Amino acid sequence: MSETTSELPAQTIDVRELRNAFGKFATGVTVVTCHTPDGEPHGATVNAFTAVSLDPPLAQVTLIRGNRASQYLEDQPFAINIMAEDQLDVCLNFAGKPMKGAPQWRSEDGVPVLCGTAATIECKPWRIYDGGDHVIVIGEVIAMEVNDVEPLLFVSGKFREVGNFSGGSPWDASGDSLSTGWFEGSKSFKSF
């Protein structure tokens, strides 16, 4: 940290303003699913999902501390169900607003996985960290399924659908372009 940074006066952060600022970052919507101690499928709607590592394959979700799902994930496999744009009712169901009928589960064995998702990432517990009023859960990916449907998005406190691409092809001239390779043109890569 530089000297000028450490000399800044302490500021009081308004929680509502912070939430609004965080909300400007568009995210996908997931439902994290696992079994309860008595073996029943359980889920929680979560938009704090992050890809962590390809090797080992790791994914992260962040759940509100005290949420039952955060307690269940400590020692058992779980799934990160990336919601399809037509699954708003399922998202709301696992956020506490019951849907008509029951959610559809893909299998009866293993990790409970929802049907009709854009993608599903099954994980075994890897690490859990303190995240203030949240719990940071990192899972090692053990299986996945990707479906050819658009994901549901969340931004500024509202659900959205994917729109048009901005500025052409999504990988055009990207530093990690699938068409030209990672770090194209680099003679060497300096590690952090």
Q: Which pLDDT does position 18 carry in this prediction?
A: 80
Q: Which of 108, 101, 91 is nearest to 41 (CA)?
A: 108
Question: What's the Cα-to-Cα distance from 74 to each of 107, 136, 139, 140, rounded to whole Å?
Answer: 22, 11, 10, 13
Q: Which pLDDT does position 24 carry in this prediction?
A: 66
Q: Which of 156, 158, 160, 159 is nearest to 20 (CA)?
A: 156
Give the three-class secondary structure for 192.
coil
| pLDDT, tens only, 3-26 | 445 666 678 888 888 877 776 666
Residue-range domain boundaries for the chain: 15-161
pTM for this prediction:
0.78
Q: Which pLDDT does position 181 carry in this prediction?
A: 54
Question: What's the Cα-to-Cα distance from 128 to each of 26, 31, 72, 114, 175, rounded to whole Å?
Answer: 25, 18, 12, 24, 31
* Helix H or strand E segment including 106: none
Residue 157 amino acid letter: G
- Does residue 182 carry a pLDDT above 80? no
Q: Which pLDDT does position 143 carry in this prediction?
A: 95
Q: Which pLDDT does position 167 carry in this prediction?
A: 67
- Does residue 180 carry a pLDDT above 70? no
Question: What are 9's two structure tokens?
Answer: 């006066």
SS (H, E, C) 166-179: CCCCCCCCCCCCCC
Highest mean pLDDT, choosing among 64-68, 124-128, 165-169: 124-128
Can you tell me the distance from the alpha carbon of 155 to that of 126, in angstroms, rounded to the nearest whole number?
29
Average pLDDT estimate for 138-162 = 89
| pLDDT, tens only, 86-129 | 999 999 999 989 989 899 998 667 899 999 999 999 999 999 99
Q: Specify whether the CB–CB gap between 63 and 69 falls below 8 A.
A: yes
Class of domain 15-161: mainly beta
